[in-house]
Amino acid sequence: MSTSFNQQFDQHGAWRRNFAHRLKWLTSWLRESDLLDAAVGERLHELEAQMRTSRVMVAFVAEFSRGKSELINAIFFAGYGRRIMPASAGRTTMCPTELGYDPAFLPGLRLLPIATRLEARSLTWWRGEQERWVEVAIDVDDAESLATAMQKVAEVDWVSVDEARALGFWSDEHPQDNPVCDAQGRVEVPRWRHALLNMPHPLLEQGLVILDTPGLNAIGAEPELTVSLIPQAHAVVFILGADTGVTRSDLSIWREHLVTEGDPGETRIVVLNKIDTLWDTLSAPGQIDAQIERQCRISAETLGVPRERVMPVSAQKGLQAKIERDAALLQASRLPALEAALGEGLLGRRETMLRLAVDAGIVALRAEAARLLQVRQRDLSEQALELQGLRGKNGAVIRHMRARIEQEQAEFEASNTRILALRSVQAKLLREVYAVLGSTALKADLGRLASALRRPGIKLNVRKVYGATFDALRNNLREVQATTGEIQAMLHATFRQLNAEHGFALQAPAEPDLNDFVAELGRIEQSHLHYLGVGNVLKLAQHDFCDKLVRALGSRVRAVNEAAMAEVERWSKSAGAQLDAQLKERRRNFVRRIESVERIQQAAGGLEERLAEIHAHEEQLKALHERLQELTTLLTSQEPSAASGPAEAAVRDTLRVA
Ligand SMILES: Nc1nc2c(ncn2[C@@H]2O[C@H](COP(=O)(O)OP(=O)(O)OP(=O)(O)O)[C@@H](O)[C@H]2O)c(=O)[nH]1
Ligand SMILES: [Mg+2]
276 ligand 1 Cβ < 6 A: yes
Distance 646 CA to ligand 1 centre (A): 35
Residue from 577, 571, 609 nearest 481 by CA: 571
65 ligand 1 Cβ < 6 A: yes
DSSP 247: -
270 vs 294: CA distance, rounded Å: 15
Q: Which ligand neighbours the alpha carbon of 64 most closely? A: 1
Ligand 2 is an ion; residues with CB less than 5 A from it = 68-69, 92-93
Which neighbouring-strand residues pair with 58?
A: 210, 235
Cβ atoms within 10 A of the Cβ of 474, count? Answer: 17
387 vs 380: CA distance, rounded Å: 10
531 vs 130: CA distance, rounded Å: 30
224 vs 230: CA distance, rounded Å: 9
217 ligand 1 Cβ < 6 A: no
Strands (E), 114-181: 134-137, 156-160
User: DSSP characters for 291-328?
Assistant: HHHHHHHHHHHHHT--GGGEEE--HHHHHHHHHHT-HH
Ligand 1 atom nearest to 87, measured from its CA? 16
Residue from 449, 57, 9, 470 nearest 231 by CA: 57
* pLDDT the model gives residue 429: 84
Ligand 1 atom nearest to 64, measured from its CA? 25
* pLDDT the model gives residue 179: 82
Nearest CA to ligand 1 atom 32: 274
366 ligand 1 Cβ < 6 A: no
Distance 97 CA to ligand 2 centre (A): 9
Q: Let me know: does 595 contact 386? Beta carbons within 8 Å.
A: no
Q: Let me know: does 69 contact 99? Beta carbons within 8 Å.
A: no
Ligand 1 atom nearest to 318, measured from its CA? 31
* pLDDT the model gives residue 620: 94
Q: Let me know: does 151 contact 186? Beta carbons within 8 Å.
A: no
C-alpha distances in Å from residue 558, one per residue of 12, 230, 481: 30, 17, 17
Q: pTM for this one?
A: 0.80
333 ligand 1 Cβ < 6 A: no
DSSP 409: H
Ligand 1 atom nearest to 317, measured from its CA? 31
Strands (E), 139-244: 156-160, 186-190, 192-198, 208-212, 235-241
Distance 511 CA to ligand 1 centre (A): 51
Ligand 1 atom nearest to 93, measured from its CA? 23
490 vs 471: CA distance, rounded Å: 28
Residues of the chain with pLDDT under 70: 1-3, 216-219, 260-266, 604, 637-658
Residue from 273, 270, 246 nearest 259 by CA: 270
Nearest CA to ligand 1 atom 2: 274
Question: How many angstroms from the chain centroid is the CA of residue 466?
Answer: 26
Q: In what order do the strands lie in the sheet with 310-312?
A: 134-137, 108-113, 192-198, 97-100, 208-212, 56-61, 235-241, 267-273, 310-312
Q: Choose the residue to mutate in 70, 76, 322 for probing ligand 1, maximizing ligand atoms within 8 Å of C-beta.
A: 70
Question: How many angstroms from the chain centroid is the CA of residue 345?
Answer: 17
The letter for the amino acid at 632 is T
Question: How many angstroms from the chain centroid is the CA of residue 265?
Answer: 15
Q: Choose the residue to mutate in 92, 240, 319 for probing ligand 1, maximizing ligand atoms within 8 Å of C-beta.
A: 92
Nearest CA to ligand 1 atom 30: 274
* pLDDT the model gives residue 218: 59
Distance 325 CA to ligand 2 centre (A): 24
Q: Let me know: does 567 contact 512? Beta carbons within 8 Å.
A: yes
337 vs 317: CA distance, rounded Å: 14
209 vs 101: CA distance, rounded Å: 8
Distance 314 CA to ligand 1 centre (A): 10
Q: Choose the residue to mutate in 316, 319, 322 for probing ligand 1, maximizing ligand atoms within 8 Å of C-beta.
A: 316
C-alpha distances in Å from residue 517, one per residue of 233, 265, 604: 17, 16, 65
With b for 16 or more beta-carbon neighbours within 10 A and e for fewer, the 44-81 pattern comes to: bebbbeebeebebbbbbbbbbbbbbbbbbbbbbbbebe
Q: Let me know: does 127 contact 121? Beta carbons within 8 Å.
A: no
The letter for the amino acid at 279 is W
Q: Let me know: does 155 contact 135? Beta carbons within 8 Å.
A: no
* pLDDT the model gives residue 216: 66
Distance 157 CA to ligand 1 centre (A): 22
Residue from 1, 613, 654 nearest 345 by CA: 654
Which neighbouring-strand residues pair with 108?
A: 137, 198
The letter for the amino acid at 11 is Q
Residue from 192, 190, 184, 187 nearest 161 by CA: 187
